[in-house]
Amino acid sequence: MKTLGLLGEPGHYGLATDLYELTMAAAYFEAGMQEVSATFNMFVRHLPRGRGYLLTAGLEQAVEYLQGLRFDGPSIDYLRALPHFAAVSAGFWEYLRDFRFTGDVEAIPEGTVAFANEPLVQVRGPLIEAQMVETFLLATINHQTLIATKAARVVDAAAGKGVIEFGARRAHGFDAAVYGARAAVIGGCVGTSNVLAGQSFGIPVYGTAAHSFTMAFEHEREAFHAFHRAFPDHSIMLVDTYDTLEGTRRAAELGPSLRGVRLDSGDLIALSREARRILDEAGLPQAIIVASGDLNEEAVERATREAAPIDLYGVGTEMITSKDAPALGGVYKLVAVDAGGKHRPVRKLSPEKATYPDAKQLFRERGTDGRFAGDTLALQSEPLTGEPLLTPILAGGRLVAPLPALPEIQVRARAERDGLPFGVRRLHDPEPYPVRISGRIQELMAQMHPQD
Amino acid sequence: MKTLGLLGEPGHYGLATDLYELTMAAAYFEAGMQEVSATFNMFVRHLPRGRGYLLTAGLEQAVEYLQGLRFDGPSIDYLRALPHFAAVSAGFWEYLRDFRFTGDVEAIPEGTVAFANEPLVQVRGPLIEAQMVETFLLATINHQTLIATKAARVVDAAAGKGVIEFGARRAHGFDAAVYGARAAVIGGCVGTSNVLAGQSFGIPVYGTAAHSFTMAFEHEREAFHAFHRAFPDHSIMLVDTYDTLEGTRRAAELGPSLRGVRLDSGDLIALSREARRILDEAGLPQAIIVASGDLNEEAVERATREAAPIDLYGVGTEMITSKDAPALGGVYKLVAVDAGGKHRPVRKLSPEKATYPDAKQLFRERGTDGRFAGDTLALQSEPLTGEPLLTPILAGGRLVAPLPALPEIQVRARAERDGLPFGVRRLHDPEPYPVRISGRIQELMAQMHPQD
């Protein structure tokens, strides 16, 4: 049985969810609530440890899911055969067979900085539909936003030197590697080692050779010559298989067509200086130095501070898993219900898990220096100043406008990061960014009572 | 353009790799090394922090990749158009067009305990092929082994109470959720909330309702009745939307067909005692208590120690991301080269990154108590005692025997964990497990000299 690439068939999207989305759907259906509408907000309650902001990513794949969401025959047969659904009426299975997502979606565009409690995505539509899409939206946007946010930190630490995403082998499976590479590029990486991500998203791909390549030959020099014959203008030689500086000297023998060397172990800062000297003395000032090997934003920042002559950083495990904060706790909460002609804002009351009620808009203001000065979370109808960040994406399940291509998102993300106050952007102990709750939301909350 | 489920097409598997696997392939091809054979070992150098052992998982998907690995036309066109490959001859593209993995693979079966430096997978075959598969094998086996290992800890902490995998929304994308759920079941979970994993792997699925379900109704009681009407024999009511104990009382009103209640916030240990008392006093001793909400092995262990009356644990974020140790550092290293009739064992020499040379077998001995007493890493030809763990999986690219089904793997994994010495299995400060290096490997290492 084929078990890889299960999402290759949109007919499978229907089951790409937690069971409770489907039990709730059946219970709503059986209660005759097909006409009830609802609004949900996706947001994070707290920024991940050490982060001053989020960089949003994943919307394109979330939209692809929403537009492709179907239940194929085998999916419906599978559900019908589960003991849970034994008492559910035939009408529900007909409903699923014809299921399409017909709701409205607004979102903060990909590559935008965002903060705790801000709706990254707002979904309105029939209650059953709007509830159903929770799990997949969360999985997709939590993941890519997590990696884009981490990548932005590494890219900032590199202070203008290029960062390449190198983490496929340590990602949470190869799919996580592909979408993680996409997110890393939104975070500012200049490329990836991941070829499928390169092909699928038009990302520049980078690659040299492994230590095994050098070891497959009896002598390092032989290996270098073989690689150089195949890639006369694209040879970046991995030089640390036996002795980094000896390897660098051998690579330099290849002459002016040598593109550069890669250092993958040892004291990368000290070795980069030695390697630079060797390359320069060999008359190869154009040959670049790539550094890799367990790098993260701290290691890259140290190299930047010490002005190590490293031209490109290859960052793997730490970035593709956001290792120091490997999960984004995005949640998807009901904020309003429309039933029987009545609009009812709702909110969860438990103190640590409070949510702000009703459909929203988010306004961002800039200070006189052009940087972001603060956001206000408002009701959708409130006429506040500032840039409204929640943008229509789907109306009645249809795309309102084409989604931006990845290079466009990357450009936006760079401008967004440059718009952050310095203290919010910094890597360590970032300052909190002001997010105000509008007067109207506060009034609404004061009027609301626990329901039971 | 469709960007979800990219691995749905085996024609895409060729690009599901790091670019350097393909540049190495081209360089080997151009150097006329098609006849060179090689042996690679996948292993981890160190166990993840706090872990006493690994529980292997992911082999089934790795094998599916190996057997399906092809380069379709668009993949080859993409590669040919990359500037890197400008000087590569047409013969290489013909080679890729006909590419099949024809090598031999041995592996430690899924659901086996394993330790640092032990080859989880050993690949032998044409050098180009055996190198090419590195990235995907690592991504797949690193991920599932990581999650299976974490899940086993949570399951051990639950001391016989069931653990359900609940993490889809926090996984590194939905694919990571699916394969993570599979791995969690190998680790001992009794089921998952992930429906696609349930359908694809025959895993029992679990699901109740979200807080939003309760809030979609004006009164909690109304919500409970609606759910109970749709699922008269499968209603586990989420009771903490407004007040956990009040909610439990309302759930109890549903009578003897109530399957149970779910607690998702607050002091789960104290609340479970109160909820148990309410259910028992209502004459519902059969109604179970499910606990969820930011659980990990420490929280579950505490509940076990305090004998909290919790029947099932739903564990999400912490397990599906292995949050305290979110990456497994598996590597894939060349250990021998066969060229021109000569067999040449190889090894990397850098002190922290040393590897053991040549093709291997791994032998495991049991003590008089029936538990595992120690492993020996040996050359393949060494006639040692103990159970040989590296098992033939593929010969010439063909499956030697059908792979075990998931329930069989789960049974094996349970027996394997029960075979661990108590100190190795424990959750905190586990004892190291003895892995010896055979005399023949040590002799071989002493004979080997740095190559240059």
Task: State the CATH number of the domain containing residue B258.
Answer: 3.20.20.70
Average pLDDT of every residue of chain A: 96
Chain A: nearest CA to B309, how far in angstroms? 23
The H-or-E segment that residue B343 falls in is: strand B342-345
- Kindly determine whether residue B334 and residue A211, on different chains, have CB atoms separated by under 8 Å: yes
Name the pLDDT band for A9 (thresholds 50, 70, 90): confident
Chain B: nearest CA to A156, how far in angstroms? 23
B140 with B157, same domain: the answer is no
d(C-alpha A194, C-alpha A175), whole Å: 11
In a domain, A441, yes or no: yes
Tokens of A172: 């949470």
- Kindly determine whether residue B337 and residue A216, on different chains, have CB atoms separated by under 8 Å: yes
Chain A interface disruption, residue of B164, B174, B265, most A CBs within 10 A: B174
A132 with A230, same domain: the answer is no
Q: How many residues would you count in chain A?
A: 452
Tokens of B98: 């006909």
B309 with B354, same domain: the answer is no
Left, alpha or beta for A159 (phi > 0: left; psi -120 to 50: alpha)?
left
Chain A: nearest CA to B389, how far in angstroms? 24
| pLDDT given at position B40 | 98
Give residue-wise pLDDT tens across range B331-355: 999 999 999 999 999 987 666 667 8
Boundary-marking domain end, from A320, A351, A369: A320
B46 at A interface, C-beta within 8 A:
no
| pLDDT given at position A448 | 86
- Kindly determine whether residue A16 and residue B196, on different chains, have CB atoms separated by under 8 Å: yes
Q: CA of A264: how far to CAs of A165, A267, B293, in Å?
A: 15, 9, 41
In a domain, A89, yes or no: yes
B189 with B230, same domain: the answer is yes
Q: CA of A310: how far to CAs of A41, A203, A263, A425, B67, in Å?
A: 43, 22, 10, 23, 40
Of residues B172, B230, B451, nearest to A176 (C-beta)? B172
B427 at A interface, C-beta within 8 A:
no
In a domain, A3, yes or no: no
Of residues B26, B68, B195, nearest to A19 (C-beta)? B195
B190 pLDDT more than 50? yes
- Interface size between A and B, measured as CB pairs under 8 A: 412
d(C-alpha A231, C-alpha A74), whole Å: 49
In chain A, which residue's Cα lies nearest the Cα of B233?
Answer: A84
B96 pLDDT more than 80? yes
B232 pLDDT more than 50? yes
d(C-alpha B349, C-alpha A86), whole Å: 62
B140 pLDDT more than 80? yes
CATH of the domain at A21: 3.20.140.10
In a domain, B427, yes or no: yes
B84 with B232, same domain: the answer is no
- Tell how strand A258-263 and strand A288-292 pair up: parallel
Chain B interface disruption, residue of A175, A227, A295, most B CBs within 10 A: A175
B434 pLDDT more than 50? yes
d(C-alpha A49, C-alpha B196), whole Å: 31
Chain B: nearest CA to A326, how far in angstroms? 6
- Kindly determine whether residue B7 and residue A134, on different chains, have CB atoms separated by under 8 Å: no
| pLDDT given at position B352 | 67
The H-or-E segment that residue B395 falls in is: strand B391-395
Number of domains observed in the structure of chain B: 2
B268 with B312, same domain: the answer is yes
- Tell how strand B398-399 and strand B391-395 pair up: antiparallel
The residue with tokens 């023949």 is B440
A326 at B interface, C-beta within 8 A:
yes
DSSP string, B229-296: HH-TT-EEEE--SS-HHHHHHHHHTTGGGEEEEEE-SS-HHHHHHHHHHHHHHTT-TT-EEEEESS--
Domain that holds residue B345: 6-146+327-447
Average pLDDT of every residue of chain B: 96
B443 at A interface, C-beta within 8 A:
no
B53 with B186, same domain: the answer is no
| pLDDT given at position A282 | 98
Chain B interface disruption, residue of A123, A147, A195, most B CBs within 10 A: A195
In chain B, which residue's Cα lies nearest the Cα of A240?
Answer: B350
* Mean pLDDT (whole number) for B205-213: 95
B389 pLDDT more than 70? yes
| pLDDT given at position B452 | 45
A314 with A393, same domain: the answer is no
B195 with B306, same domain: the answer is yes
| pLDDT given at position A348 | 74
Tokens of B206: 């679990």
A97-101, A353-357, B444-448, range with the lowest pLDDT = A353-357
* Mean pLDDT (whole number) for A409-418: 98
In a domain, B227, yes or no: yes
- Kindly determine whether residue A219 and residue B452, on different chains, have CB atoms separated by under 8 Å: yes
* Mean pLDDT (whole number) for B431-439: 97
Boundary-marking domain end, from A279, A297, A320: A320
d(C-alpha A205, C-alpha B82), whole Å: 9
- Kindly determine whether residue A450 and residue B2, on different chains, have CB atoms separated by under 8 Å: no
| pLDDT given at position A203 | 98
- Kindly determine whether residue B327 and residue A317, on different chains, have CB atoms separated by under 8 Å: yes
In a domain, A1, yes or no: no
Chain B: nearest CA to A385, how far in angstroms? 32
In chain B, which residue's Cα lies nearest the Cα of A67?
Answer: B2
d(C-alpha B182, C-alpha B64), whole Å: 15
The residue with tokens 């190889």 is B346
Neighbours of B57 (CB within 10 A): 31
Q: Which of B357, B410, B397, B434 minimizes the C-alpha distance to B151?
A: B410
Instruction: Decide: A114 and A58 in contact? Cβ < 8 Å.
Output: no
| pLDDT given at position A352 | 67
| pLDDT given at position B350 | 64
Give residue-wise pLDDT tens across range A337-361: 999 999 999 987 666 677 899 999 9
Chain B interface disruption, residue of A40, A169, A190, A243, most B CBs within 10 A: A169
Which residues of chain B have a CB within 8 Å of the CB of A49? none
A280 pLDDT more than 90? yes
A19 at B interface, C-beta within 8 A:
yes
Helix (H/G/I), strand (E/B), else coil: A415 = helix
Boundary-marking domain end, from A274, A299, A320: A320
B181 with B300, same domain: the answer is yes
In chain A, which residue's Cα lies nearest the Cα of B86?
Answer: A231
A203 with A300, same domain: the answer is yes
B232 with B308, same domain: the answer is yes
Chain A: nearest CA to B23, how far in angstroms? 7
Which residues of chain B have a CB within 8 Å of the CB of A20? 193, 207-210
Kindly tell me the burial class for residue B108, based on how many C-beta atoms sit within 10 Å of its own C-beta (0-12, 13-18, 19 or more): buried
Of residues A8, A220, A337, nearest to B7 (C-beta)? A8
Tokens of A89: 């009426």
* Mean pLDDT (whole number) for A394-423: 97
Cα angle B289, A41, B147; round to 5: 50
In a domain, B420, yes or no: yes
A423 pLDDT more than 80? yes
Question: By 3-state DSSP, what share of chain B in percent is helix, strand and coil, each rounded to 5?
Answer: 40, 20, 35
- Kindly determine whether residue B5 and residue A6, on different chains, have CB atoms separated by under 8 Å: yes
In chain B, which residue's Cα lies nearest the Cα of A350?
Answer: B242
Kindly tell me the burial class for residue B256, based on how many C-beta atoms sit within 10 Å of its own C-beta (0-12, 13-18, 19 or more): exposed
| pLDDT given at position B133 | 98
Left, alpha or beta for B173 (phi > 0: left; psi -120 to 50: alpha)?
left
Q: Which of A170, A169, A199, A203 minimizes the C-alpha distance to A187?
A: A203
Name the pLDDT band for A450 (thresholds 50, 70, 90): low
In a domain, B452, yes or no: no
Name the pLDDT band for B9 (thresholds 50, 70, 90): confident
In chain B, which residue's Cα lies nearest the Cα of A19?
Answer: B207
Q: Which of A185, A186, A183, A229 minimizes the C-alpha distance to A206?
A: A185
